[in-house]
Amino acid sequence: MALILSVLEQGMIYGILALGVYITYKILDFPDLTVDGSFPFGAAITARLISGFGVPAILTLPIAFLAGALVGICTGLIHVKMKVRDLLSGIIMMTGLYTINLWIAGSAYVPIFNKQNIFDNAVVNRIFPEFLRNYKVVIIIFLITMLVKYLLDWYMNTKSGFLLRAVGDNDTIVTSLGVDKGLVKIVGLSIANGLVALSGCIYAQQQRSFEISIGTGAVVIGLASVIIGTSLFRKLSFLRVTASVVIGSILYKACVALAMFAGISATAIKLITAVLFLIILELSRDRGKKRGSAC
Amino acid sequence: MLELKNISKNYNPGSVNELCLFQDFNFTVQDGEFVSVVGSNGSGKTSMLNIICGSIGVDAGQILIGGVDISGQKDFVRQRKIGRVYQDPSKGTCPSMTILENMSLAENKGKPYNLGRGVNKTRVEAYRELLKPLNLGLEDKLGVQVGSLSGGQRQALALLMATMTPIDFLILDEHTAALDPKTAEIIMELTDRIVREKKVTTIMVTHNLRYAVEYGSRLIMMHEGTVILDKSGEEKRNINTEEIMGIFNRISVECGN
């Protein structure tokens, strides 16, 4: 039971990260490696705010989002204004953020065990009855993830959201519409990295610590979730693509948990991440080929 | 009125591949004209359109619209007042979005793209009315993704979208070249109807000499960055395809191809 709960909790937390990766990878067609830096960035800010300044936990969520959005704007400016290739812009930001994250957090590992957080504070503890204690974390994560998903769905159907979808599809038309396509890309990158940092913020509070190494491979986890979600649930039209991405993330975490359960050591986790991603890529490519030959 | 004044444009300046396309190039389009532009490959037709739209810069010269110099404006700023249809049907639409979403996007051109609803449900009927005269059955496919439409259907939609909002110029860049002859005919008739109805100033680049002769109020032929033939009014009406073809062959022979 604890294993299932942990898969659901982490799956949904990384689901928010996957939604961010979905915006850059699928909508903008921009492989954004900034994620490896912006995920721990959200976590570092949260750890510092909670342990250093005693900021109310609920406030860490919007602060982390905004900080992540700022990081996304930087990646966008490097790419759009300085004309640096997309992958390189992300790598530059990811590398720089590693140091910035260490500065913000103060060290590579910051425990926040005895502090209040979004799962454990006066308000939450009063609302949740005794028998729901064990499910408190998973319920709160579920609510936040749903809220993020619905906000994103709503945004994608606004005029601004339409432009975002258009720019990844065919950026010529955005220029034809009299809009600066560079600006639209920057907006997309900022929302995406805002979500990634928000995910890092929740992750730090669920783990009750900040660790610099959580960033390594974050983008791979996000990509794997997006690809599982979008290729597995392509046929189910009642599922919004945002929902499939979150479910993809939960499935991915379940795969990793199974591998750990089967006795693979925790130090091998990054290797499992990489191999799993490769398997997923290969499987989704196969599906695509079959579909192509059927036509 | 659109004026290109003393335009100079070099490709790859300073290298062995340096190509001087325009040298002191001048060209004027009056309001309400429908100009067909013909010429061999490399004669500067598409470069001229790109210079007007700001997709490529110029080395010297001015681009004036209604007497105002726009050569310093960014491409997206200029295109607020310009509708453009490309040779490639996929460039004028968003393939992953539905017809309804594409049209909503196009109708909002010139207004801010804010957090308002992307699709205005009350406009659905109006969109249907716009699509019906095309006779392509698109009016029943508003919810269909544009990526699954045929090239001709997409190009018709692109043409509609480019002219949905008030524009000063319509720029057509070989917009029938990628279509089969029958569909090209339909798109050309649609183009003519839209240009007449909206009375929009139009510049059409085409390789189809018959279209250039049959449609439009003025015909120009370009060769090596200069206008070598310019017919309008009565002269344009009396011109025929053979005559144009003759001139076309003559300049090609002079070039050695």
Q: Please give the tally of structural domains in chain B.
A: 1
Q: How confident is the model at residue A193 (pLDDT cuts 50, 70, 90)?
A: very high
Residue A218 contacts residue A33 (beta carbons within 8 Å): no
Q: How confident is the model at residue A55 (pLDDT cuts 50, 70, 90)?
A: very high
Residue B19 contacts residue B40 (beta carbons within 8 Å): no
Tell me the DSSP string of B138-197.
Answer: GGG-TTSBGGGS-HHHHHHHHHHHHTSS--SEEEEESTTTTS-HHHHHHHHHHHHHHHHH
Q: What is residue B245's predicted lDDT score, i.e. its pLDDT?
A: 86
Give the closest of A165, A178, A181 to B109, CB-based.
Answer: A178
Region at B110 (left for phi over 0; alpha for psi -120 to 50; beta for the rest): left
Is residue B207 situated within a structural domain?
yes
Q: What is residue A292's predicted lDDT score, i.e. its pLDDT?
A: 39
Is residue B244 situated within a structural domain?
yes
For residue B111, which phi and psi values (nearest 5 degrees)? -105, 160
pLDDT of A148 higher than 90: yes
Does B95 contact A at CB distance below 8 Å? yes
Q: What is residue A202's predicted lDDT score, i.e. its pLDDT?
A: 97
Which of chain A's residues have a Cβ under 8 Å away from the Cβ of B97?
162, 165-166, 169
Q: How confident is the model at residue A38 (pLDDT cuts 50, 70, 90)?
A: very high
Q: What is residue A291's predicted lDDT score, i.e. its pLDDT?
A: 43
Percent of chain B topping pLDDT 70: 98
Q: What is residue A295's predicted lDDT score, i.e. its pLDDT?
A: 34
pLDDT of B256 higher than 80: no
Does A201 contact B at CB distance below 8 Å? no
pLDDT of A294 higher than 60: no
What is the rounded distance in angstroms from the CA atom of residue B165 to the CA atom of residue B106? 8
Does B123 contact A at CB distance below 8 Å? no
What is the rounded distance in angstroms from the CA atom of residue B36 to the CA atom of residue B237? 13
pLDDT of A238 higher than 80: no
Is residue B173 situated within a structural domain?
yes
Q: What is residue B236's predicted lDDT score, i.e. its pLDDT?
A: 86
Residue A138 contacts residue A202 (beta carbons within 8 Å): no
pLDDT, average across residues B223-229? 89
Q: What is residue B255's predicted lDDT score, i.e. its pLDDT?
A: 59
Could you tell me the residue range of the domain that residue B63 belongs to? 2-94+165-255
Residue B70 contacts residue B41 (beta carbons within 8 Å): no
Give ipTM to 2 decimals.
Answer: 0.89
pLDDT, average across residues B205-216? 92
Does B148 contact A at CB distance below 8 Å? no
- In angstroms, the first-to-last Cα distance of chain B is 36
Q: What is residue B7's predicted lDDT score, i.e. its pLDDT?
A: 92
Does A178 contact B at CB distance below 8 Å? yes
Residue A11 contacts residue A176 (beta carbons within 8 Å): no
Give the closest of B95, B112, B162 to A170, CB-based.
Answer: B95
Neighbours of A256 (CB within 10 A): 19
Residues B33-81: pLDDT tens digits? Answer: 999 999 888 888 999 999 999 999 899 999 999 889 998 899 999 999 9
pLDDT, average across residues B216-220? 92
Which of chain A's residues have a Cβ under 8 Å away from the Cβ of B94?
165-166, 169-170, 173
Three-state secondary structure call for residue B32: coil
Q: What is residue A287's predicted lDDT score, i.e. its pLDDT?
A: 53
Contact criterion met (CB < 8 Å) for A163 and B113: yes
Is residue B117 situated within a structural domain?
no
CATH number (domain holding residue B202)? 3.40.50.300
pLDDT of B1 higher than 60: yes
Q: What is the DSSP letter of A157?
A: T
Of residues B124 and A276, more confidence is placed in B124
Is residue B21 situated within a structural domain?
yes
pLDDT of A289 higher than 60: no
pLDDT of A283 higher than 90: no
